[in-house]
Each structure stands twice: as structure tokens, then as C-alpha cells.
């Protein structure tokens, strides 16, 4: 084959435009024996790092680039000029690490400063950041090709002079053979200009899909992008089927008169030698006090924390002897050594710093999450509140000294105040050094079928029916065709279905959109654009173009700042109690509280963290937990895998009858005693492998991963190692094989014990609060879930069943949140539809200033009509908020519009009279008069329907309440009784 490499190629990260997945691409590259390949996605570098790493694994030289958009004038200018494009195309390839860094800067600036229809660079920043970059003139939308087609010779000359002056021998004129007449004109002219200016030519193919026969799928992908169908005449189209990954032979045939156009691609490939550093960690600059180094300060804080925690640790044991004391000291020293030797002292200090900031500012923080709860040092630093030795949690599950990788500490914060912590981190390390992380939504099998069906113009019902026949995304559409009889028959007999599935299989798995990860934050030690490309998210936030996996690969710190609603809920309960003089420390609750376990055993756990679902409630009534160690397995077991496998039934049966529990060896009993011989936790797999078979913690962790991922060849290899190691430790071979089979049976469902313990603790905390302070707990739940009508209805129903009275909303009595009044719950104004935060604040402020509303007229006289409009008044009336003010709901609804008109006139006059040079315009009480007509009240049904409209449910009485006895006779079971 001729020597040739593709220098202009769009992968799936040219979102809804490129249809090339890396796995298929690299297979084709190797098939054509190409030594290198470029990635040049439209205006972004989303896939650059992944492309670099995966190409290297396939022994393909990765050429990192981008088809950038360049503004006709300044990137900062955001206006259309008649007869001028908003941006031209330019292909940039990184020659070296300087070029790669400059490409990162250019693409980041294009998104952060130059976005107008497209992310655009301009000549100013290209001049500043062109070192180490090769420039190709791109397709017919390139600046030079465009001037050839639409401009004058003078314009062409000026453009070439600019790019040649900037890039010199790094400029190449790009020829393409794509069947477009305009491209042929450009090619001929560029060949002439190449001779005149001495600028070399290169052949490219602007690849957007892999095979020629995938051109139709690509056209449909463009339809998905633009919301058109294939039958729309004005849709975006490439017009030919030539934008595929052509072989060197095809390119050689197309440019047979210009062989140098092929050989120059090899020249460019040889010029490009980028190395992306995946060996170095780039920790943010954390400055300890008094010029201490990181390790010194880390050890000092950890030891202080250890000494501070010891009284609490001792209190958890009936007897804390010297052996226990040594065990804690040894564990502390071991973890300290591992963390310091792996270079992660700074990481722990950074995490401890922002967690302690949150705690010191009253921002609720979760007790732990994931494997980090297995670290004693994390506990000593206040990062977690779970004591790992007491619960037999393994440090190596979190940080394995034999397999050094970035620790992963994810943190739960109160959802309402999570942003305060992110703001603190941003201020501390610099806004340029902190960003949120991108995540990609992909077209899974069913979605691909639906999207392609829509683009083909097929009826939705028909397409949806076919999509539903695909029972799993695993194996994709191809598996479904081979294994699902109905699909196989339709595919074989219906041409339209075949067309649908063939095209859907091309786009399935492609990235569909980029969005901001809900929790991920990356923190660097300098401007992040020096490590990775950036862009702006929907809410103007700065976001990385690399996803979490790639961020970790290039050595940046990634931390999940998660917002957990339950922490907000518990904080609300604590504040309600404090208002009544009751102080409660959630970290110091007694873990043997009978009232809490009675509530759990009853299954009365709606609103209890992780234990609220119907299935979990059934499990609780069967298990009847009586100690904290019973809650942890519930978190681990209540998942589809364990439920289907019979693990749950086996666990409950053995717990109820310990005589059923047997162990193949005493060593196994030490590990599985707490779970009655059932392997529930991943840590148990690691311990069995280590204790019985002599596995190192590195190999034990690798075995755990192989079990969870069900990798057959690895499982077979580890089986031999396990059996041999066990035999060497005096375990009979047949027993070792039996134990391994048991591990393999349950191992794929193993759960992280550290996470179960941490989340089990939150579950216990919420159950304790509900058991001891049900009124406060329900008030807090209603406030927290105010936006979810179904949950509000459910919790109000449960309140009434529990004898807790819910008082109706009232403009004089209600706050924004649900509040407690004389052991009753007052409905909050925030729970009324169409009544926003500004309206609520205005009503409460006016009420405070006026000393309460004496009448509806008085209410109208003092509120701000700019915030309390007709919709607000109507919703308040329907909800019954004015019932205590002496007028009927019908009268208030009748007066709403007249009131609004008069108030608007009043407030306009008030603003004119009271406006000052400081812009103040407080609304003062001004009498507003109304003629109140005598009217009948709304009918019973109208009142109930109004409440349903305003609150989302019937507050006064359900319309079927009069028939409840008859309904009970006809339907002896309710929905809660069904399983």
C-alpha cells in the first residue's frame, strides 16, 4: 500500500457529526497498515487524551489536532456581517508538547471568549499561540479555500501571506477528493498556488464516517443534530458519500498526479511528536503554616486528630486493652507511611481543609462515602466520621500501596449549601485552577433506534415497538438481531426495519451530547488550560473537555462534591429542635436505641435514607434489625443481583437460624462470622484471598475487580493462584476449589463495606430522628420534598395516619417552610404552586412590617404588586391562605384582577414619588378600596379542584372520602398490600 496517513478526521466527539468510534477506527488504521492517524474534531478536543492513550495501546502514533473555527475579525465580536461567514475552518496539528499546550489554550479561549454560533479563535490569539503547531488549510469552509471560491485574487493573496508569514514551513495546502465541484476548483487553484508560494500540498479526506456504506447513517446523524428528517429538502447534507476513511490505495488513485500529496502526510506525521504526561500528579498548591513541609504538617494534623478521636474510640469498646491500643497505633503508623510514601499527603490536607471549612461554617457533611471510610487517617483528619477498625474496614480497598493510583474521596454535602464549599475551593486555589467536569451522554441501543427512526420519518409507535424488543444494551443491536426472534424475523423480512437497524447500529454507542457532571470538580496547581481544554457549560460555568477518567490519567485531582438531600433534611430537623431548646449531635447518637430498631423492624421507614422503598420495607420486617451491624448488610444486599441470586433469602435464613451456618475452615469463620457465612462485601473477598491463599493486597484487589466484572480468563487464572496458595497454607485442594467457587458465585454481587457502613450510619440517623421526633421529622421532610407533589401527598397522608394534624396554609401564620405549631405542622407557602421565592419573601416582609394582615383589603394595601401578581393571589386563594381573613374564596378570586390593576397604579405612583438618588422605592402602606360583591362560596367540588390546582392534591377532603366504606368493601387490598 502507498505510504499515507489521515490528517483530517472527525470522531464521535464532533458531536452528532462525526460517526467514528475509536475501537473501529484503530482496527481500520491497522488494517491499512497506517503508522499514524490524526484526530481533528470540530472546535473541540473532547476526545484528544483518550485518542492519544488508546492509539498508543494499538501501536498507532496519535496526531493530536483540531479543526478549529476562526473568526473573520475579532473572536470577541458577536455580530453577523452580511455576506460574511461567522467563522472559517482551520486544521491545527500539534508538533510537540509546546504545540499541544498552545492548542489547549486556543481551543479553551475559543470556548470561553469567542463563542458565537461556534467556539472561535481569531488571528490575534493564533499569532500569540501558534508555536509548535502545523496548519492545514481545511475544507472548502477554510479561510483560504473560501476566498478562492468567493473572494478576489487579492483576498487570496492576503490570506496566504498571513498564514505563510505565521506558520512558514508549518503551513500545508489541503487537497480533498470528496466529489464536490467546489472542492475540485479549490484543489486546482491550491496546486497552482503551491508552486508559486512553495507551500507543500497534503491529501486528506475530511473523514466523518468509517465506511462508504455508512454515508446514509451519517446523513441521519446530521438530521438528529438539526431536528430534521431525511425527507426535508432544506436539511444539512454532505451531498456525496465520499467523506469516509479511505484506504491509501483510494487516496493514491485520486491524487495519482500528485504523489507528493500522500508522501507529505507521512512528513507531517513524522513532524508530530506529542507526549501527554500520565506519570505526574499535579496537586494544588497547599501551603502549611510556619514553613512546614506537607508531610510534617500532614502528620501533625493527623496525630492531633488521632489524640482527639481516642476518647470517642475507647467509648465504643467494653474494654480497651493494650492489644487494642497497639492495633490502633499500628494501623495509624501503617496508613501514615503509605500515604507519605505514595506522595498523597497534600491530597489529604486539601480534602480535610474544605471539609473542615464546611463543618466550621455549619454546612452539613456526610459521615463518609465509598472506600475512603476505610481509612483511619481520614477519620482522624475529620474527612470521615466512620471509625474503620471497629467495623473491620480495609484501608487497602481505598489506597493500595502495591498499586499506586490517585485516592478517590467523594464527599456528601447538604444540597442547599454545597455551592458554598465549591466557592471556598475556587477562592482558595484560584478560579482559573478550578473547573467542573464534563460527562458524555451516549446513544444506547434503544435510543439509537428511536433517533434513527425519527430521522427516517418513520411513525413513532412503530419505531418504539421495535426499540422495546431490544431487551438489553449489552451486546447492542447486533446481539438483538441474532438472539431476539421477533427482531430477527423483522430484520429478515422487512426492508424498512433492516434499514432502521443497520443505520442505528452505526450510530449506537456514539457520544450524543456533552454536559456538566453533577458533582465532579477538578482542582489544579495552575491554569487548567495548561493541562486540558476547557469550555463553558449551560449555566456559564467553566467545564473541562476531558471526562473524569482522562482527568485522572493526566494526574489532576478530581473530587465529587455531592449534594445529598438527606443531609439537608437532617439539618432542618436539628434546627427545628434547637428552636425548641433541644440540642442533638447526630455524630454521637447511641447505636443501641430500641425505639429506632422498633421503627425499622416495623417497616415504617418512609423518608428514612436508603430504607424507604417498598421492597426494602418488606426486607426490614423480615430481618427485624436489632443492632447496627444488621443495617449495613441491608444497604449491600438490596440490589437486583443479590435479590435475584438468592443471597438475601440465604442471609435472612442463616441469621434466623445460626445452626445452618457452616464454614469450610476456621479461618473462613473469622472473616464471614458477621454475615453468617454469606459473602456480602468486596472486602471479604480480599480478606479470604489474603488470609487463605496468601494473595498480596494488590492481587486480592485485582481478584475483587475480576469477580465484579466477570472476566472469564482472569477468573480462571486467579483460581489456580488461589488453590495453589491455599494448599500451601494447609487447606485441602478440594476445599480450596469449593471455597473459590463460593467466592465466584457471590463475588460478582459483592458491595463496598466501607460505603455500606457510612450510608448505614445515615440510615440509622434518619431512623432515630423519625422514631424520637416524628413531628419535626415530617415537617422537615415536607419542606425538603416540597417540589415533589407525590411525596408531599404521601407524607401528609402518613402524618394524618400517625395522628399528626396538618394545618392549612395561611397568609398570617405560614412561613416559607413547613413549621411546627403546638405539636401540629403548618403548611408552608413554598408548597403552593405559582408562589415563588420572591413573592413569599415579599408577603412575609409585609406581614412583619404591618404586624399581620387584618383583612384581605389590608393585605392588598401593603404587599408589593410587582412580586405578588394575579397568579400568586389566585393560588393563595385556592390553597385557602385567605380563609382566616373573612372573605370567601369566590370573592377573592373575583377581586384578583381589579386588585392587581389598582395595586399596579399605586405602586407606579409610589415609585415615582419615593424614588431617590439611591434608587430606593420601598412600598408603603396605602389604602386601596374595593367594592366587595355579595357572592355564594364556590361549590364543594370547585373548592377541592382549586386546592388540587394550587397544592397538587385535595387538602380539605378527597372527593371519594364519602365513599370510602363502600370502596373498602369492594377492594379489600390497597396498593401497599400488593407485592
Query: Terminus-to-terminus CA distance in the chain, angstroms?
Result: 66
Domain positions in the chain are 22-210+245-271, 289-439+516-566, 590-765, 773-970
Closest by alpha carbon to 766, among 596, 577, 631?
Answer: 596
Cα dihedral sign, 27-28-34-37: negative
Q: What are phi and psi of 272, to 5 degrees?
A: -95, 120
Q: Give per-residue pLDDT as tens, 9-42.
A: 999 999 999 999 999 999 999 999 999 999 999 9
Q: Is the pLDDT of residue 911 over 70?
A: no
Tell if the pTM clears 0.85, that is, is over it.
yes
Give the tens place of pLDDT for each residue, 79-137.
888 878 889 999 999 999 999 999 999 999 999 999 999 999 999 999 999 999 999 99
With 90 as the cut, is the pLDDT of residue 860 above it? no
**What integer pLDDT is reported at residue 919 of this predicted model?**
38
The pLDDT value recorded for residue 745 is 80
918 — pLDDT class (breaks 50, 70, 90): very low
Output Rg (C-alpha) for the chain, integer angstroms.
34
* Among candidate residues 494, 490, 456, 455, the one with its CA nearest the CA of residue 470: 490
The pLDDT tens digits of the residues spanning 276-324 come to 999 999 999 999 998 899 999 999 999 999 999 999 999 888 888 899 9
pLDDT of 713: 82
Cα atoms in the 13 Å half-sphere on the side-chain side of 822? 3
- From CA 846, how far away is CA 848, in angstroms rounded? 5
The pLDDT tens digits of the residues spanning 885-903 come to 989 999 999 888 777 777 6
For 707-761, write each residue's pLDDT tens digit.
Answer: 887 778 888 889 999 999 999 999 999 999 999 988 888 777 889 999 999 999 9
Query: Can you list the positions of beta strands (E) in 27-170?
Result: 36-42, 61-70, 88-94, 120-121, 133-136
CATH (one of 2.60.40.420, 3.20.20.140, 1.10.10.10, 3.40.50.720) for 22-210+245-271 = 3.20.20.140
- φ, ψ at 59 (rounded to 5°): 60, 35
DSSP code, position 627: S
Contact status, residue 181 vs residue 166, Cβ threshold 8 Å:
no
Average model confidence (pLDDT) across the chain: 92
Q: Tell me, what's the pLDDT at 429?
A: 96
Phi, psi of 478 (to 5 degrees): -60, -45
Note the pLDDT of residue 627: 94
Determine the average pLDDT of the residues in 762-790: 95
**Residue closest to 423 by CA, chosen among 415, 434, 412:** 434
Using alpha carbons, list the distances in angstroms from residue 342 to 280, 398, 415. Answer: 12, 13, 33
* pLDDT value for 184: 97
Quick one: pLDDT at residue 915? 43
Of residues 322 and 597, more confidence is placed in 597
Share of the chain above pLDDT 90, in %: 80
Segment 61-75 shows an average pLDDT of: 97
Distance CA 610, CA 639 (A): 11
The answer, yes or no, to whether residue 959 has pLDDT greater than 80, is no
pLDDT given for residue 973 in this prediction: 57
For 502-531, the pLDDT digits (tens) are 999 999 999 999 999 999 999 999 999 999
pLDDT tens-digit readout, 453-492: 999 999 999 999 999 999 887 788 999 999 889 999 999 9
Contact 865, 906 (CB under 8 A): yes
pLDDT score at 927: 58
679, 685 contact by CB (below 8 A)? yes
| pLDDT tens, position by position, 123-149 | 999 999 999 999 999 999 999 999 999
The three cell numbers locating residue 727: 494448599
Amino acid at each position: 500500500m502507498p505510504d499515507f496517513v489521515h490528517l483530517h478526521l472527525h470522531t464521535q466527539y464532533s458531536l452528532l457529526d462525526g460517526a467514528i468510534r475509536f475501537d473501529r477506527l484503530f482496527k481500520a488504521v491497522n488494517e491499512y497498515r497506517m503508522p499514524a492517524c490524526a484526530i481533528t474534531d470540530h472546535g473541540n478536543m473532547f476526545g484528544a487524551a483518550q485518542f492519544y492513550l488508546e492509539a498508543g495501546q494499538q501501536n498507532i502514533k496519535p496526531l493530536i489536532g483540531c479543526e478549529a473555527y476562526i473568526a473573520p475579525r475579532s473572536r470577541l465580536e458577536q455580530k453577523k456581517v452580511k455576506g460574511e461567514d461567522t467563522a472559517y475552518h482551520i486544521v491545527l496539528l500539534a508538533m510537540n508538547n509546546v504545540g499541544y499546550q498552545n492548542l489547549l489554550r486556543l481551543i479553551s479561549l475559543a470556548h470561553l471568549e469567542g463563542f458565537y454560533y461556534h467556539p472561535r479563535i481569531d488571528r490575534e490569539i493564533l499569532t500569540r499561540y501558534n508555536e509548535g503547531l502545523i496548519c492545514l488549510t481545511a475544507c472548502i469552509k477554510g479561510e483560504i479555500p473560501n476566498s478562492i471560491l468567493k473572494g478576489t485574487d487579492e483576498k487570496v493573496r492576503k490570506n496566504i501571506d498571513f498564514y505563510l508569514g505565521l506558520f512558514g514551513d508549518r503551513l500545508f495546502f489541503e487537497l480533498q477528493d470528496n466529489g464536490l465541484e467546489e472542492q475540485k476548483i479549490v484543489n486546482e487553484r491550491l496546486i497552482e498556488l503551491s508552486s508559486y508560494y512553495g507551500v507543500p500540498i497534503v491529501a486528506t479526506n475530511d473523514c466523518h464516517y468509517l465506511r462508504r456504506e455508512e454515508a446514509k447513517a451519517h446523513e441521519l446523524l446530521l438530521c438528529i443534530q438539526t431536528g430534521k428528517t431525511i425527507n426535508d429538502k432544506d436539511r444539512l447534507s454532505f451531498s456525496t458519500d465520499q467523506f469516509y476513511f479511505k484506504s491509501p490505495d483510494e487516496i493514491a488513485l485520486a491524487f495519482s498526479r500528485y504523489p507528493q500529496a500522500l508522501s507529505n502526510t507521512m512528513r507531517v506525521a513524522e513532524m508530530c511528536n506529542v507526549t501527554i504526561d500520565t506519570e505526574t500528579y499535579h496537586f494544588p498548591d497547599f501551603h502549611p503554616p510556619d514553613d512546614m513541609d506537607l508531610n510534617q504538617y500532614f502528620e501533625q494534623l493527623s496525630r492531633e486528630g488521632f489524640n482527639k478521636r481516642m476518647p470517642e474510640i475507647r467509648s465504643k469498646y467494653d474494654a480497651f486493652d493494650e492489644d487494642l491500643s497497639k492495633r490502633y497505633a499500628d494501623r495509624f503508623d501503617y496508613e501514615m507511611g503509605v500515604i507519605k510514601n505514595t506522595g498523597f499527603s497534600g491530597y489529604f490536607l486539601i480534602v480535610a481543609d474544605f471539609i473542615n471549612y464546611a463543618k466550621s461554617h455549619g454546612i452539613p457533611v456526610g459521615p463518609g462515602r465509598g472506600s475512603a471510610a476505610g481509612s483511619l487517617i481520614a477519620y482522624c483528619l475529620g474527612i470521615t466520621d466512620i471509625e474503620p477498625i471497629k467495623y473491620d474496614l480495609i484501608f487497602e480497598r481505598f489506597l493500595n500501596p502495591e498499586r499506586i493510583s490517585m485516592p478517590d474521596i467523594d464527599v456528601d454535602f447538604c444540597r442547599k449549601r454545597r455551592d458554598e464549599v465549591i466557592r471556598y475551593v475556587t477562592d482558595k486555589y484560584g478560579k482559573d485552577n478550578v473547573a467542573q467536569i464534563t460527562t458524555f451522554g451516549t446513544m444506547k441501543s434503544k435510543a439509537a433506534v428511536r433517533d434513527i427512526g425519527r430521522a427516517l420519518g418513520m411513525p413513532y409507535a412503530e419505531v418504539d415497538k421495535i426499540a422495546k424488543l431490544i431487551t438489553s444494551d449489552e451486546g447492542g443491536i447486533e446481539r438483538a438481531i441474532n438472539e431476539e426472534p421477533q427482531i430477527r424475523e423483522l430484520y429478515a423480512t422487512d426492508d424498512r426495519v433492516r434499514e432502521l437497524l443497520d443505520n442505528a447500529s452505526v450510530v449506537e454507542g456514539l457520544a450524543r451530547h456533552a454536559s456538566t457532571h453533577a458533582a465532579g470538580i477538578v482542582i489544579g496547581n495552575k491554569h487548567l488550560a495548561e493541562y486540558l481544554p476547557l469550555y463553558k457549560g449551560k449555566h456559564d460555568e467553566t467545564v473541562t473537555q476531558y471526562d473524569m477518567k482522562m482527568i485522572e490519567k493526566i494526574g489532576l485531582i478530581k473530587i465529587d462534591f455531592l449534594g445529598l438531600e438527606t443531609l439537608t433534611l437532617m439539618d432542618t430537623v436539628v434546627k427545628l429542635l434547637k428552636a425548641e431548646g433541644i440540642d442533638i449531635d447526630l455524630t454521637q447518637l447511641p447505636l443501641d436505641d430500641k425505639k429506632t430498631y422498633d421503627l425499622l423492624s416495623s417497616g415504617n421507614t418512609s423518608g428514612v435514607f436508603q430504607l424507604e422503598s417498598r421492597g426494602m420495607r418488606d426486607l426490614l420486617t423480615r430481618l427485624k434489625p436489632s443492632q447496627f451491624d444488621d443495617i449495613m448488610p441491608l444497604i449491600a444486599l438490596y440490589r437486583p443481583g443479590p435479590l435475584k441470586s438468592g443471597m438475601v433469602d440465604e442471609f435472612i435464613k442463616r441469621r434466623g437460624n445460626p445452626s445452618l451456618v457452616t464454614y469450610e475452615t476456621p479461618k473462613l469463620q473469622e472473616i464471614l462470622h458477621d454475615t453468617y457465612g454469606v459473602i456480602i462485601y468486596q472486602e471479604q473477598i480480599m480478606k479470604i484471598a489474603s488470609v487463605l491463599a496468601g494473595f498480596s493486597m494488590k492481587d486480592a484487589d485485582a481478584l475483587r475487580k475480576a469477580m465484579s466484572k466477570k472476566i472469564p480468563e482472569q477468573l480462571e487464572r486467579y483460581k489456580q493462584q488461589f488453590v495453589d496458595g491455599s494448599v500451601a497454607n494447609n487447606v485441602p485442594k478440594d476445599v480450596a476449589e469449593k471455597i473459590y467457587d463460593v467466592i465466584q458465585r457471590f463475588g460478582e454481587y459483592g458491595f463496598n463495606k466501607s460505603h455500606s457502613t457510612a450510608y448505614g450510619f445515615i440510615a440509622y440517623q434518619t431512623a432515630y430522628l423519625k422514631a424520637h421526633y416524628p413531628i419535626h421529622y415530617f415537617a422537615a421532610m415536607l419542606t425538603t420534598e416540597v417540589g415533589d407533589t407525590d411525596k408531599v401527598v404521601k407524607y401528609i397522608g402518613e402524618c394524618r395516619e400517625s395522628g399528626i394534624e396538618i394545618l392549612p396554609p395561611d397568609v398570617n401564620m405560614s412561613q416559607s417552610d413547613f413549621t411546627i405549631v403546638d405539636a401540629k405542622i403548618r403548611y408552608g407557602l413554598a408548597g403552593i404552586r405559582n408562589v415563588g421565592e420572591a413573592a413569599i419573601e415579599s408577603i412575609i416582609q409585609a406581614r412583619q412590617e404591618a404586624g399581620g394582615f387584618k383583612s384581605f383589603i389590608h393585605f392588598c394595601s401593603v404587599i408589593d404588586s410587582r412580586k405578588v401578581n394575579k397568579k400568586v393571589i389566585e393560588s393563595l386563594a385556592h390553597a385557602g391562605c385567605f380563609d382566616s381573613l373573612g372573605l370567601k374564596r369566590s370573592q377573592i378570586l373575583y377581586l384578583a384582577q381589579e386588585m392587581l390593576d389598582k395595586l399596579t397604579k399605586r405602586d407606579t405612583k409610589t415609585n415615582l414619588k419615593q424614588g431617590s438618588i439611591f434608587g430606593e422605592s420601598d412600598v408603603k402602606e396605602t389604602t386601596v378600596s374595593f367594592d366587595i360583591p355579595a357572592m355564594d362560596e364556590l361549590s364543594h367540588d370547585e373548592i377541592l379542584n382549586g386546592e388540587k390546582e394550587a397544592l397538587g392534591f385535595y387538602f380539605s377532603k378527597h372527593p371519594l372520602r364519602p365513599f370510602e366504606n363502600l370502596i373498602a368493601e369492594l377492594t379489600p387490598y390497597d396498593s401497599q398490600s400488593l407485592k
